[in-house]
Amino acid sequence: MAGTIAITENDRWSVASCAYHWVLDYLINHASDPETVAELTEIDENNLGWVEIHEFPAAAREELLRLIVDEVVPDAERRLLPENSDRESAIDVIRDLRALAAKHRR
């Protein structure tokens, strides 16, 4: 199973569900807007596998992009277990999302 985070209609990050859910959980736990958290939680609870960042209101969209660009990778570098032999490749997948999001951050 896979999941997709669409930064724009054309720029999408489609990955294995474990990476998708790891990022989605991070966004749910760190977004400050209750409506954004509720929408992300609904996506997670219904196992929809698709988040459209570009459809969020401007302030929420900017916060989600900030979280992705500034915080998700450092958190992965801290929290992913070093004994996991695929640790660096897992972080590289998340780095790909950061690079994609950075292109659209204001």
| pLDDT tens-place string over residues 37-53 | 999 999 999 999 999 99
Burial class (CB in 10 A: 0-12, 13-18, 19+), 58: exposed
- Domain limits, the chain: 2-102
Q: Judge contact between 35 and 51, C-beta under 8 A.
A: no
Q: Judge contact between 7 and 100, C-beta under 8 A.
A: yes
pLDDT of 8 > 70? The answer is: yes
Model confidence at 83, in pLDDT bands (50, 70, 90)? low
